[in-house]
Structure 1
Amino acid sequence: MIGQSSAFVHTRRLIERIARCEAPVLIEGETGTGKELAARAIHYGGSRRDGPFVPVNCGAVPGDLVENELFGHKRGAFTDANVEQLGLVAHARHGTLFLDEIDALPLKAQVSLLRFLQDQHYRPLGGPESIRADVRLVAAANCDLSALVERGGFRPDLLYRLRIMFVTLPPLRERHGDIPLLVQAFLCECNERFGLGDKQVHPATLAWMNRYRWPGNVRELENLIYREYLLSDATTIHIDPPAGIDGKVPDGQAGLAPSMHLEDFRTAKIRAIAEFESRYLACALNAAGGNVTRAARLVGKERRAFGKLLKKHGIERL
């Protein structure tokens, strides 16, 4: 999770506070905004960090199999149940169960989940008695569940149970100033993964990226950078803008960072240093696989000082 915009910093701080409690969490946000990353941040930032993190895509589980997937079954519970099978709730014991795309659950499956949330007990199919679950539930949706409730597609009582704690992830178009940091981080990841050398994105490309609305959000940006890094033979990547987007660098900013306007020298210098530090720290952290101690060693700084710089620029690898 990388960013320094006010929208991102506010969301990250909220995630940090949510991580410290044990209540169920609902994460809402458009597709590609990083809901699973946020769920992992909640898990690894809380007391269950040493337990398992079990992600489930609800849209990929047929409605009539939800109970079996979540709660498992005993041998002989139904035809072809030749062996006992543990459910995902059991696999997530002492950890976190992440239900992604919970809006895709059919109403019948929502009843089963609601019953489980009411007292944290479940009974495997064919089992003689209920079992106490020791899991934290985090759910995510890429649509407005309140609107879905009004249309009859989601149970209001389940929404109330899930929304004890909730966070809405901001779309990329509202994260002003984060695109250059994300681009640099993705380029560093590409170099680490594919080894085609250091590359940079042309200022004209960054200029239109800052004006584009990014319907696919961070995932769309990441996929674009990966593709162009692999296809480009040059060290400077120039990507044509989508239709309707002007790809020119604003007058007087050809040699400046895309978010920098012509300012007095001192202000411009402070901004340039801050942007360099952010890009450099993000690159170092990615090169170290998210390990702060290793990243500090790579750049020749003490871990504590390196950690302070990460906090200063709102950069975390969770």
Structure 2
Amino acid sequence: MVQGVMMDAFNTEFGGAGFLRGMVGQSPRFLDVLRLIPRIAYYDAPVLIEGETGTGKELAARGIHAGSRRRAKPFVAINCGAIPESLIENELFGHVRGAYTDAGAGGPGLLRLAHQGSLFLDEIDALPPRGQVALLRFLQDGHYRPLGARHAESADVRIIVASNRRLKTLVGEHGFRADLLFRLHVLALDMPALRDRPGDPWLLAHHFLGEFTQRYGDTAGMTRRSIDTRAHAWLDAYAWPGNVRELENLVHRVFLLAEGPELLLPAPDGTICGHPAPVLLPDGAARQTYTAARAQALDAFHRRYLIDLLRHAQGNVTHAARLAGKERRALGKLLQKYHIDPARFRTQDR
């Protein structure tokens, strides 16, 4: 009910902005995002969306497209981390017949497919140097040349990109072109982590319950299910390293396996095996700023969680990612960040 009232208020404020539907929350930082999306959608300029994995960056990108004048045209999404460097230009610009070996017929690139619409480039931080140059060239004048073509073509495309790493930091580390960042960073949206959205996990849990109820229908009385109110006590206290996606996977799993009408959401304790892992404040926390103490405590949580996760998965990163409700690539980045080697947890007799 709270969710419905909240969305009605925003639809009224933004003139029936139905494109915000599906974005659930009422915390101050999330409401700031909801207020900003219609303004970003109105202006036809490149957009940079930053935020941790699982915070809803693609959902925000789709909302921006749906609220823009391009809403009736295609929204084309691609994950840059999934494109081999040798195929970047072919993916973006397409090719003509005979452009390379086995190119028997021409093929359109993403820019042509998204003509008059929006092209969403997720994980733009994973775009290799060759792809960064190709994208920069298009952003400069809106023209591109398909592979093997003699003449350049143009495309009317709004570019929306997303990154789970700060591009300014990558520029400083020489991992991203500064001139490309300047082109992309016209309009910006910062998606808050779920741990910074007090009250929203409870709302989201009910939102996902409604979605799964609708998806699976009245199977074994699923339409009469509710969430045990005892979960309210830990939903805000948990750090949610996988953000909204982790919460969605938790509700989905419990929804499918629950036998009674009430969903008993188990508190993820960071140990997987069921032994509680209390959040301990770092030594000297009272002598630090709140932000510094919180960051130190979160680092300790992440390290403990990842170690217990890998111990349970016996060093299998793919299995660990599945347990954590995260993409394997994202989990790999966390392991690198905290210098945790999965090989340490593999059994010796394998």
TM-score category, normalised to shorter length:
0.7 to 0.9
Q: Is 1:35 aligned with 2:57?
A: yes
- Say if 1:72 and 1:85, in contact at 8 Å, map to a contact too: yes
Q: Is 1:181 aligned with 2:214?
A: no
Q: Give, in angstroms, the shift of residue 240 of structure 1.
A: 2.6
Q: Give, in angstroms, the shift of residue 84 of structure 1.
A: 0.5
Q: Give, in angstroms, the shift of residue 245 of structure 1.
A: 4.9
2:114 counterpart residue number = 92
Bigger relative CO (Cα 8 Å, ≥ 6 apart)? 1
- Say if 2:58 and 2:122, in contact at 8 Å, map to a contact too: yes
Q: Is 1:234 aligned with 2:267?
A: no
Output the CA distance in 2 between the equivalents of 1:85 and 1:20: 32
Output the CA distance in 1 between the equivalents of 2:104 and 2:266: 57
Output the CA distance in 2 between the equivalents of 1:221 and 1:245: 20
Return 5+ residue gaps in structure 1 as ranges.
247-318
Output the CA distance in 2 between the equivalents of 1:14 and 1:83: 44
The farther-off stretch of 192-201 and 129-138 is 192-201
**Structure 1 SS opposite 2:119:** strand
2:92 counterpart residue number = 70
Output the CA distance in 2 between the equivalents of 1:206 and 1:85: 52
**Structure 1 SS opposite 2:223:** coil
**Structure 2 SS opposite 1:15:** helix
Q: Is 1:244 aligned with 2:270?
A: no
Output the CA distance in 1 between the equivalents of 2:197 and 2:224: 26
Q: Is 1:203 aligned with 2:225?
A: no
**Structure 1 SS opposite 2:136:** helix
The farther-off stretch of 39-48 and 198-207 is 198-207
Output the CA distance in 1 between the equivalents of 2:211 and 2:224: 10
Output the CA distance in 2 between the equivalents of 1:141 and 1:105: 10
Q: In structure 2, what residue type is equivalent to 1:224?
A: L
2:336 counterpart residue number = none
- Say if 2:96 and 2:147, in contact at 8 Å, map to a contact too: yes
1:213 counterpart residue number = 239
Q: Give, in angstroms, the shift of residue 206 of structure 1.
A: 2.1
**Structure 2 SS opposite 1:47:** coil
- Say if 1:19 and 1:46, in contact at 8 Å, map to a contact too: yes
Identical counterparts, % of pairs: 54
1:156 counterpart residue number = 178
Return 5+ residue gaps in structure 2 as ranges.
1-22, 270-275, 280-350
Render the CA deviation track for 1:199-250: whole Å, top value 9, x for unaligned.
Answer: 222222221111001011111000100000000001112233213259xxxx
Name which of 1, 6, 15 aligns with 2:37: 15
1:133 counterpart residue number = 155
Output the CA distance in 1 between the equivalents of 2:278 and 2:203: 21
Render the CA deviation track for 1:42-97: whole Å, top value 9, x for unaligned.
Answer: 00001000000000110111011010001000001111111000001000011000
Change (3 A) 1:245 1:193: farther
Equivalent pairs counted in the alignment come to: 246
- Say if 1:93 and 1:134, in contact at 8 Å, map to a contact too: yes
**Structure 2 SS opposite 1:211:** coil
